[in-house]
């Protein structure tokens, strides 16, 4: 499956109200009709938070909320972008001069990432111009990967306009790399699930090389997403990139402690692979090699035997050079324990014991505690929402996505679902300032959805 490209499907636009509305808006905007449509889904990460960029496997599923783009290739070398949401202004640029200013948070930059990634992959000097109208149903900055879905959608749009072929895996890898043009050092989970998702199954996603395996979720329970309505934009804040750097520094100190070639090591997974030991043993090595007190840049330099200048220019990214302290012990403890929880979660799904839902719920609860206490990527509203979900009948609940806001995901037995939804609504949303944007749901049950597609009007 992964070796194939995304599917192309004929569709009767008139039978799909959203597509029909998009077609009409496109017509009034550009004075013509779209040649084709592309969708790429958002995702919910069930377990495995902040570990993809450390080299570890994750367990997400696609959601039905998505990015949908209506497209018309044009003879000019101009890329014209518009959005159905009036909050996002129109944008146009020459296809030969794609500039992505990572200091400015602009919606169209995510489209440009996908466009530029495909353009550079094929080494094209004069790609085709196009008119595009974007419609998104993924709440922005909610931890359901709206930005990556837009990058993936744009990559598939560009590939389709060019008439080129790539496998889903190649597309995912190109889009993961090109999203870094906006300044986030992500790991590749979001783009992988957007292309590799299949209806009815979650995916166990491994990296280097990228591959996805089906994970059958237990029957008798559903995953419920609840939006804290606190927005967190990864590219807008330094939290995310500081965590990436803390993990990189922890990997280097652990490698040095174990007499490995630390200067070549970038990820925590590489240390485990080179030592050839289990995740449980890596937690013991972490206890032995790192101290819980934060590290100053000067102490890191002493540990590695390098100068402050070398640390700043050769290891730290531009946006983490002025960070005063780094918590290396806590971040490594989270990553190694979370990576182990992903493997346990997959095994419970495979073995399907009678108490599977309870076991999976407990792993999700452990994950949230680790995200809150060791990785410090939660916030008071997320912690409150997780507590409400658990007391309302969820077997397990945790933050999902980068954190610092966004959504929680809860595992809820089907027989208590209606009561669960009513209780959470009453306790968190009713009569409070916690409300989603118009037309977007704050609280909903979800099933594993399919991956990115091209639609041609039949």
Active site residues: 190
Measure the N-to-C terminal CA separation of the chain; round to a whole number of Å: 25
Please state, as a whole number, how many other Cβ atoms lie within 10 Å of the Cβ of residue 202: 28
Block residue for tokens 């790192």: 290
Residue ranges with strand state E in 268-326? none
Whether 411 contacts 365, CB under 8 Å: no
Report the interhelical angle of 108-121 vs 168-178 (nearest 10°): 120
User: Exposed (0-12), middle (13-18) or buried (19+): which is 319, by Cβ within 10 Å?
Assistant: middle
- Going from the C-alpha of 446 to that of each of 15, 143, 346, the distances in angstroms are 23, 15, 19
- DSSP annotation of 405 reads S
Nearest to 449 by CA among 217, 168, 148, 197: 197
Give the span between the Cα atoms of 63 and 41, in whole angstroms. 6
Rounded-to-integer distance, Cα 129 and Cα 132, Å: 10
């Amino acid at each position: 499956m992964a070796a194939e490209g995304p599917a192309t499907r004929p569709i009767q636009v008139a039978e799909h109200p959203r597509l029909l509305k998009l077609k009409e808006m496109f017509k009034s905007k550009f004075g013509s009709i779209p040649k084709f449509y592309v969708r790429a889904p958002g995702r919910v990460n069930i377990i495995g938070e902040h570990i993809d960029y450390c080299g570890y496997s994750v367990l997400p599923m696609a959601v039905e909320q998505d990015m949908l783009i209506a497209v018309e290739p044009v003879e000019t070398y101009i890329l014209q972008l518009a959005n159905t949401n009036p909050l996002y202004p129109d944008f146009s640029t020459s296809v030969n001069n794609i500039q992505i200013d990572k200091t400015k948070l602009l919606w169209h930059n995510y489209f440009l990432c996908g466009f530029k990634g495909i353009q550079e992959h094929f080494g094209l000097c004069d790609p085709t111009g196009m008119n595009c109208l974007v419609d998104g149903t993924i709440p922005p900055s909610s931890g359901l990967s709206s930005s990556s879905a837009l990058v993936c959608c744009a990559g598939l749009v560009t590939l389709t306009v060019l008439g080129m072929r790539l496998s889903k895996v190649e597309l995912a890898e190109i889009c993961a790399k090109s999203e870094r043009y906006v300044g986030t050092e992500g790991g590749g989970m979001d783009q992988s699930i957007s292309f590799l998702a299949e209806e009815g199954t979650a995916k166990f996603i491994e990296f280097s090389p990228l591959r996805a395996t089906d994970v059958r979720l237990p029957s008798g329970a559903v995953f419920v997403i609840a939006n804290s309505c606190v927005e967190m934009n990864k590219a807008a804040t330094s939290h995310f990139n500081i965590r990436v750097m803390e993990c990189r520094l922890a990997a280097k100190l652990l490698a040095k402690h174990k007499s490995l070639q630390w200067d070549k090591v970038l990820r925590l997974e590489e240390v485990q692979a080179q030592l050839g030991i289990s995740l449980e043993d890596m937690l013991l090595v972490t206890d032995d090699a790192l101290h819980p007190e934060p590290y100053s840049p000067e102490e890191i330099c002493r540990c590695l035997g390098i100068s402050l200048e070398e640390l700043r220019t050769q290891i730290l990214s531009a946006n983490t050079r002025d960070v005063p302290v780094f918590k290396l012990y806590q971040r490594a403890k989270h990553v190694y324990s979370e990576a182990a929880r992903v493997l346990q979660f997959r095994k419970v799904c495979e073995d399907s014991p009678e108490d599977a839902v309870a076991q999976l719920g407990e792993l999700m609860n452990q994950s949230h505690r680790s995200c809150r206490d060791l990785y410090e990527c939660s916030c008071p509203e997320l912690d409150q929402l997780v507590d409400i979900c658990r007391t309302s009948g969820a077997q397990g609940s945790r933050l999902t996505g980068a954190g610092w806001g966004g959504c929680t995901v809860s595992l809820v037995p089907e027989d208590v679902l209606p009561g669960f939804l009513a209780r959470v609504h009453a306790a968190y949303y009713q009569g409070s300032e916690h409300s989603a944007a118009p037309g977007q749901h704050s609280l909903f049950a979800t099933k594993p959805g399919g991956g990115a597609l091209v639609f041609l009007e039949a």
